[in-house]
Amino acid sequence: MSHEPFVVRTEPDRLPGRRVVDIVVIAVALTAASVVIVAFWLGPTPHVSTSVKGPAPREISRIEQTLIEIDPVQSELRAEAERVLSRHAWVDREQRIVRIPLSRAYELVMRGAK
pLDDT (tens digit, 0 to 9) for every residue of the chain, 114 residues total?
Answer: 567 788 888 887 777 788 889 999 999 999 999 999 998 888 877 766 666 667 766 666 666 666 666 677 777 888 888 888 888 899 899 999 998 988 888 888 888 865
- 10-14 contacts: CB < 8 A, separation 24 or more? none
Q: Is 62 among the domain residues?
A: no
Q: 72 with 107, same domain?
A: yes
Q: What is the pLDDT of residue 6?
A: 81
Look up the domain containing 82 and give its range: 68-111
Distance, CA of 8 to chain centre: 58
Give a yes or no: residue 102 inside a domain: yes
Whether pTM > 0.75 for this model: the answer is no
| 66: Cβ contacts below 8 Å, ≥ 6 apart | 58, 59, 74
In a domain, 106, yes or no: yes
The number of domains in the chain is 2
In a domain, 38, yes or no: yes
